[in-house]
A and B are shown apart, each in its own frame.
Chain A
Amino acid sequence: MDSVLWSVGGWTHDRNNVYELFMGSIAMKAILIMVLQRLSLGFLTLFVVSVIIFSAVELLPGDLAQEILGQSATPETVAAFRAELGLDKPAVQRYGQWLFNVASGDFGHSLANGRAISELLASRVGNTLFLAAYAAIIAVPLSLILGILTALYRNSWFDRSVNVLTLSSISFPEFFIAYILILAFAVKIPLFPSLANIYPDTPLGDMLYRAALPVMTLVMVVVAHMMRMTRAAIINVLASPYVEMARLKGLSPFRVIVKHALPNALAPIINVIALNLAYLVVGVVVVEVVFVYPGLGQLLVDSVSKRDVTVVQAVSLIFAATFILLNLVADVLAIVTNPRLLNPR
């Protein structure tokens, strides 16, 4: 916008651009360094977490081979099987092998039924992502709008009732909300199915319909959190002297919020979104169990009760990696949108 305006007043135009370019290059470099630092820290975390998850098996009391083959197996077969699994090699070597396999999509075999884990995961990853994305698309805009509105009209009856509603929704266990929704919209008023049966060949329209109740549950929980945090972030900024100044300049309340409060509340809001998206990915676990939705969460819970460690390992790694990556994205975005960093001294 500036360049268009200033091409008319040519004399300042050039100087301005030179200044801009000069400051710009320094700023970009500083930001690049910060982003790279954050990225490398993120990948380091991911590495450490993968080590922790790998060690889970090592910590398992008893012998993995024995566990799989059962107590009746002869020592010879156990030893042979150990060699086959590579358990006779040192832990570091096995970790390297495991990481390499995981990177190439091979998660090993289930202890419970011997099937390839990647096969178990195949359709479930997509299903869970579908559920989380479906909920996010509704929840993010909804909570941002609610957050801004409650911040604008804070202490009004509207704000107060939303506050009580969200406080309650945060306090309810997810399965409680889920069952209330089932009772209301599947049993009393049979609008939606209470079980979310989804198969690889289910058409999209049907999927949206069948997943309606699980998504509603997730949305209720996530919106409550996200909206409260958005509201707090905006109110925090509204208390600052520059917002008072904006009001004393006679700007409309709408302009004060959009032009003066929002740009400065952006970083905390991005954080809030990322935090809740990450939460969403985990929150699906309970919802999937209630609605018997064939996703990763259900697989995880089943495997934990069967103590099927290799599957738990694989699913945990996927969840943890998603969580870490989302937080990483948020941090990078927060750096990139910070005006003080974009325009250093």
Chain B
Amino acid sequence: MLDNILTIRGLKITAKIDGIDSDIVHGIDLDLKRGEILGLIGESGAGKSSIGLAAMGFTRNGCKISAGEIDFDGLDLARATEKQKQNLRGVRIAYVAQSAAASFNPAHRLIDQYAEAPLSHGLSNALESKQEAIELYRKLQLPTPEEIGFRYPHQLSGGQLQRAMTAMAMSCKPDLIIFDEPTTALDVTTQIEVLSAIRDIVREYKTAALYITHDLAVVAQMADRIQVLKDGRAVEMSETSKMLAAPQEDYTKTLWAVRNFQRREKAFDPKDIILSLNNIDASYERHGPKILNDVSIRVVRGQTLAVVGESGSGKSTTARVLCGLLEASKGELVFNGDVLPLNYRKRDKSTLKNLQLIYQMADTALNPRQTLLQILGRPLEFYLGLKGEEKNARVAQLLEQVELEPKRFLNRYPGELSGGQKQRVSIARALAAEPELIICDEITSALDQAVNESILNLLNRLQEDLNLTYIFITHDLATVRAIADEVVVMWQGKVLEQSTTEALFSPPYHEYTERLLSSVPQMDPQWLDELLLQRAKAEAI
């Protein structure tokens, strides 16, 4: 207890939801020693961000700390005055937010925002703090550290901003930093740089940290100890290596058990091409920069083809071109042997029916003012001419297919469903058209791990039952490995390679593919160190 920098006992946080006070954090205890990094891990709604902010004595609008103690080096932040908290914040406890782009003030230069805390707390003068800023920018491996601070936030990339924000948090050499999902919004290859930068700096200054994330492999690299949270309650806590080796609670095990289902062996004829993209070019404006550059992909009937890439790779654009939402400027699409019109408006009803799209955000993909019966009934009526009882019976059947009980769900609105249930309805809507090919655009990336897996299982089963072909757009290599038969790797609008999943995940690798594969965090706590060592060696050669 004595060498604790932060001690939380019985912390309760209450939020006003629909006018009623309800607890979102139910009595949490935490201990954090000086210089220690504690990982807080949990899925959405676990209350991890609220706890992180509460560690600074801060709550968001509508929330309040209703019980418990937050002892920061002898001061109870749950009862401290605003003035006392103000004197601590930025100086002894600092915060790194998830979205650096939104959390930097667009009106001021980075270096002025860096210097603000030391100046206003009277710790440093303008010149000194700016010199320090440059020093930190250099340590965090930002390009042109002498100049980068004089830019405005919107002039930097996401990964750079996140490092600049870490520098800002270090500006007063705090005892404790709260990292709130600092790499969640970044691509994997960028994430590596930020992770290693954060870890080095925190080690160098021996700063204690609360590292909040939903990604187990990330927290394994960063934390000394891990606290697992679920629905605002503590699940279990132990040393990182112990936690990874032998998780005790069932819930923790479900977080660990990634993709434990086996892809079934499928029988298909590799010559039976259902869809091919031939030399497709596309751009969003006429004569604008090419988003897709000479993209050719072939899809075998009955297979799952994954299209994988980072942001800006053109993978989602490929989906839009396929659907005809974005008209390709060059090239052709061949579906079942027929050349397709490039604009969906010119396609006939049977083509539209046979090519269905499922969206990433089920929230915006379902009309909030229609019941599930209306949402699923419309394609039945539109494509298949079903009416009345016949239609209702088929809707019920579809709901059963996606494992939703018809009686309970028929007359509900999307707003009354959970994220996973909404995505199931989206799948049912695509099935209603009785398509041959379904394009899934990042459909699991907004969902929690466990839900994610059940959706993948469902898709797998449906493919078996209905002989569907999937095109699966994703940035997540674990998902690819779990469900894909073939993989297309895209980078900056080009197809780098198309190969079977087995071939992709075993050497020899394509250069970019290797970088991408090696950047995916692994559960092994040594992974980051080893990877950085390897890369340093490779560069030395």
* Contact between chains at B147 and A16 (CB < 8 Å): yes
Interface hit among B148-156, B201-209, B220-228, B323-331: B148-156
Given known contacts A9-B127, A12-B146, A241-B97, A252 and B107 CB-to-CB distance under 8 angstroms: no
| Residues in B85-111 with C-beta less than 8 Å from chain A | 85-91, 94-95, 97, 99, 102-108
A116 to B456, CA, bound (A): 83
Instruction: Kindly list chain B residues whose C-beta atoms are within 8 Å of the C-beta of A263.
Output: 105, 107-108
Closest A residue by C-beta to B107: A263
A344 to B151, CA, bound (A): 10
- The answer to the question of A246 belonging to the interface, with a C-beta cut-off of 8 Å to chain B, is yes
- The answer to the question of A240 belonging to the interface, with a C-beta cut-off of 8 Å to chain B, is yes
- The answer to the question of A33 belonging to the interface, with a C-beta cut-off of 8 Å to chain B, is no
* Contact between chains at B102 and A242 (CB < 8 Å): yes
* Contact between chains at B152 and A340 (CB < 8 Å): yes
* Contact between chains at B105 and A264 (CB < 8 Å): yes
- The answer to the question of B481 belonging to the interface, with a C-beta cut-off of 8 Å to chain A, is no
Instruction: Kindly list chain B residues whose C-beta atoms are within 8 Å of the C-beta of A255.
Output: 120
Given known contacts A241-B103, A251-B120, A8 and B150 CB-to-CB distance under 8 angstroms: no
Given known contacts A16-B147, A264-B106, A345-B154, A251 and B90 CB-to-CB distance under 8 angstroms: yes
* Contact between chains at B95 and A250 (CB < 8 Å): no
Query: Whole-angstrom distance from the CB of B164 to the nearest CB of chain A?
Result: 12
Instruction: Kindly list chain A residues whose C-beta atoms are within 8 Å of the C-beta of B104.
Output: 242, 245
A244 to B59, CA, bound (A): 10
Q: Which of B60, B86, B168 has the most CB of A within 10 A?
A: B86
- Residues of A contacting B: mostly: helix
Q: Which of B56, B88, B146, B168 has the most CB of A within 10 A?
A: B146
Instruction: Kindly list chain A residues whose C-beta atoms are within 8 Å of the C-beta of B134.
Output: 12
Instruction: Kindly list chain A residues whose C-beta atoms are within 8 Å of the C-beta of B102.
Output: 240-242
Closest A residue by C-beta to B99: A241
Interface membership of chain A positions 243-280, coded 1 if the CB is closer than 8 angstroms to chain B and 0 otherwise: 01111111110010001100110000000000000000
Given known contacts A12-B146, A16-B147, A249 and B117 CB-to-CB distance under 8 angstroms: yes
Selected from A5, A241, A250, A259, the residue in CB contact (under 8 A) with B130 is A5
Instruction: Kindly list chain B residues whose C-beta atoms are within 8 Å of the C-beta of A340.
Output: 106, 152, 154
Query: Whole-angstrom distance from the CB of A66 to the nearest CB of chain B?
Result: 56
* Contact between chains at A9 and B105 (CB < 8 Å): no
- The answer to the question of A15 belonging to the interface, with a C-beta cut-off of 8 Å to chain B, is yes
* Contact between chains at B107 and A264 (CB < 8 Å): yes
Instruction: Kindly list chain B residues whose C-beta atoms are within 8 Å of the C-beta of A5.
Output: 126-127, 130
Interface residues on B, range: 35 or more
Interface membership of chain B positions 57-80, coded 1 if the CB is closer than 8 angstroms to chain A and 0 otherwise: 010110000000000000000000
Given known contacts A15-B146, A15-B147, A343-B152, A249 and B106 CB-to-CB distance under 8 angstroms: no
- The answer to the question of A339 belonging to the interface, with a C-beta cut-off of 8 Å to chain B, is yes
* Contact between chains at A250 and B89 (CB < 8 Å): yes
Selected from B53, B94, B108, B131, the residue in CB contact (under 8 A) with A9 is B131
Closest A residue by C-beta to B91: A250
* Contact between chains at A19 and B150 (CB < 8 Å): yes
* Contact between chains at B107 and A339 (CB < 8 Å): yes
- The answer to the question of B121 belonging to the interface, with a C-beta cut-off of 8 Å to chain A, is yes
* Contact between chains at A343 and B58 (CB < 8 Å): no
A246 to B117, CA, bound (A): 9
Instruction: Kindly list chain B residues whose C-beta atoms are within 8 Å of the C-beta of A16.
Output: 147, 150
* Contact between chains at A250 and B99 (CB < 8 Å): no
Instruction: Kindly list chain A residues whose C-beta atoms are within 8 Å of the C-beta of B168.
Output: 249
- The answer to the question of B294 belonging to the interface, with a C-beta cut-off of 8 Å to chain A, is no
A247 to B59, CA, bound (A): 11
Q: Which of A15, A20, A250 has the most CB of B within 10 A?
A: A250
A247 to B116, CA, bound (A): 12
* Contact between chains at B120 and A248 (CB < 8 Å): no
A72 to B120, CA, bound (A): 84
| Residues in A195-217 with C-beta less than 8 Å from chain B | none
A244 to B63, CA, bound (A): 14
Instruction: Kindly list chain B residues whose C-beta atoms are within 8 Å of the C-beta of A11.
Output: 146
Query: Whole-angstrom distance from the CB of B6 to the nearest CB of chain A?
Result: 16
Given known contacts A242-B106, A263-B107, A248 and B95 CB-to-CB distance under 8 angstroms: yes
Instruction: Kindly list chain A residues whose C-beta atoms are within 8 Å of the C-beta of B117.
Output: 249-251
Selected from B89, B108, B130, the residue in CB contact (under 8 A) with A249 is B89
A248 to B89, CA, bound (A): 6
* Contact between chains at A250 and B90 (CB < 8 Å): yes
| Residues in A220-252 with C-beta less than 8 Å from chain B | 239-242, 244-252
Instruction: Kindly list chain A residues whose C-beta atoms are within 8 Å of the C-beta of B127.
Output: 5, 8-9
Q: Which of A20, A240, A247 has the most CB of B within 10 A?
A: A247
Query: Whole-angstrom distance from the CB of B109 to the nearest CB of chain A?
Result: 8
* Contact between chains at B154 and A249 (CB < 8 Å): no
Query: Whole-angstrom distance from the CB of B101 to the nearest CB of chain A?
Result: 9
Instruction: Kindly list chain A residues whose C-beta atoms are within 8 Å of the C-beta of B94.
Output: 248-249
Selected from A2, A241, A248, A339, the residue in CB contact (under 8 A) with B58 is A248
A278 to B191, CA, bound (A): 51
* Contact between chains at A251 and B99 (CB < 8 Å): no
Selected from A2, A248, A260, A345, the residue in CB contact (under 8 A) with B155 is A345
Interface membership of chain A positions 75-110, coded 1 if the CB is closer than 8 angstroms to chain B and 0 otherwise: 000000000000000000000000000000000000
* Contact between chains at B90 and A249 (CB < 8 Å): yes
* Contact between chains at B121 and A250 (CB < 8 Å): yes
Selected from A241, A248, A339, the residue in CB contact (under 8 A) with B152 is A339
A184 to B85, CA, bound (A): 50
A248 to B53, CA, bound (A): 9
Query: Whole-angstrom distance from the CB of A270 to the nearest CB of chain B?
Result: 14
Query: Whole-angstrom distance from the CB of A266 to the nearest CB of chain B?
Result: 8
Closest B residue by C-beta to A19: B147
Closest A residue by C-beta to B101: A241
Instruction: Kindly list chain A residues whose C-beta atoms are within 8 Å of the C-beta of B106.
Output: 242, 264, 339-340
A11 to B131, CA, bound (A): 12
Interface membership of chain B positions 21-39, coded 1 if the CB is closer than 8 angstroms to chain A and 0 otherwise: 0000000000000000000
Query: Whole-angstrom distance from the CB of A154 to the nearest CB of chain B?
Result: 10
Given known contacts A5-B130, A255-B120, A250 and B147 CB-to-CB distance under 8 angstroms: no
Query: Whole-angstrom distance from the CB of A40 to the nearest CB of chain B?
Result: 23
Closest B residue by C-beta to A261: B105
Query: Whole-angstrom distance from the CB of B142 to the nearest CB of chain A?
Result: 15
Given known contacts A5-B127, A9-B131, A345-B154, A251 and B107 CB-to-CB distance under 8 angstroms: no
A317 to B151, CA, bound (A): 46
Selected from A250, A259, A260, A339, the residue in CB contact (under 8 A) with B86 is A250
* Contact between chains at B86 and A343 (CB < 8 Å): no
Closest A residue by C-beta to B98: A241
A246 to B154, CA, bound (A): 18
Instruction: Kindly list chain A residues whose C-beta atoms are within 8 Å of the C-beta of B90.
Output: 248-251
Interface membership of chain A positions 9-27, coded 1 if the CB is closer than 8 angstroms to chain B and 0 otherwise: 1011001100110000000
Instruction: Kindly list chain A residues whose C-beta atoms are within 8 Å of the C-beta of B58.
Output: 247-248
Could you list which residues of chain B lie within 8 angstroms of chain A, going by C-beta atoms?
Answer: 53, 56, 58, 60-61, 85-91, 94-95, 97, 99, 102-108, 116-117, 120-121, 126-127, 130-131, 134, 146-147, 150-152, 154-155, 168
Q: A12-B147, A248-B94, A251-B116 are in contact. List 13 more A-B contacts (CB 8 A).
A: A2-B150, A12-B134, A15-B147, A16-B147, A19-B150, A241-B103, A242-B102, A249-B90, A249-B117, A255-B120, A260-B107, A343-B151, A343-B152
List 30 A-B residue pairs with CB atoms under 8 Å apart, sorted by A's residue number. A8-B127, A9-B127, A12-B146, A12-B147, A241-B103, A242-B102, A242-B105, A245-B103, A245-B104, A245-B105, A246-B105, A246-B116, A248-B53, A248-B89, A248-B94, A248-B95, A249-B90, A249-B94, A250-B86, A250-B89, A250-B117, A251-B86, A251-B117, A251-B120, A252-B120, A259-B108, A263-B105, A264-B106, A340-B152, A343-B152
Could you list which residues of chain A lie within 8 angstroms of chain B, going by C-beta atoms?
Answer: 2, 5, 8-9, 11-12, 15-16, 19-20, 239-242, 244-252, 255, 259-260, 263-264, 339-340, 343-345
Question: Which 3 pairs show the lowest CB-CB distances between chains A and B?
Answer: A250-B89, A249-B90, A250-B90
